[in-house]
Amino acid sequence: MDIKRIAVFGGTGRTGRELLKQALDAGYKVTAIARNPKSLKEFQQYENFEAKQGDALKSETFEDHVEDCDAVMSCLGGTGSRFAEMTFYNDTLKEMQKAMEKHKISRFIGMTSWATQDDPSLPIFVRWVLRPLFIKHVLDSMYQMEQYAEKTQLNYTIIKPPGLNPDGSSGKNIQTLDNGQCVPGCANYMSCSDVAAFMLSCLKTDKLDKKITAIGVK
């Protein structure tokens, strides 16, 4: 399918802003859906951009905004709490799915993270400190999102990057591992720009259709 128009959730975040910029520069028509569209005013210079108000947890607030889109992309992130369970990631995917099915949109590209499940290949600090003590509930919700995606009829790609930093592109080749919890040998961080570029590249290939893929840079 030749994708020309995309809807983007999470465009106000660091990776989301990179995704918006790169998509617009590449000539895509982009609809950004945000609780506060005015926070995206720097993109109003693009003729192929529009920002619409919507709450990703309530499909009725944005279902009309995705009507003419060929794909939906999400860089949504939730911080959660160290002490309380959260369902943000799978809840937002469920709401996006409702809107997509209403308008017969199947292509979905989203992001979670390394370490949504425990795995011996994970870096020691991530496996034994960061994951269990600080971000367990966030990662659990991400994993629920991954599981939910696999049960849908969506043509999904879920990207799993390591920690994110706002620096520009590393200029390095991105490494991938399908169904992995990390990419062994890669750095524990990568730039938001590189993550956005990889997500955008998924629109032009079917190699990652219906796959959950860890990414990283060496």
Domain extents for the chain?
A: 5-217
Q: Which amino acid is at 20?
A: L
Q: What is the pLDDT of residue 188?
A: 93
CB 100 within 8 A of CB 66: yes
Instruction: With H, G, I as helix, E, B as strand and everything else as coil, classify residue 145.
Output: helix
Instruction: Name the token pair of 184.
Output: 């062994």
Q: What is the pLDDT of residue 105?
A: 98
Encode pLDDT of 39-58 as tens digits.
999 999 999 999 999 999 99
Regions in the chain scoring below 50 on pLDDT: none
Q: Which CATH architecture has domain 5-217?
A: 3-Layer(aba) Sandwich (3.40)
CB 195 within 8 A of CB 18: yes
Q: What is the pLDDT of residue 173?
A: 87
Task: Give exposure, 129-143, as e/b (b: 16+ Cβ within 10 Å).
Answer: ebbeeebbbbbbbbb
Encode pLDDT of 4-14 as tens digits.
999 999 999 99
Q: What is the pLDDT of residue 33?
A: 98
Q: Which amino acid is at 218?
A: K
Q: What is the pLDDT of residue 166?
A: 84
Q: What is the pLDDT of residue 81?
A: 64
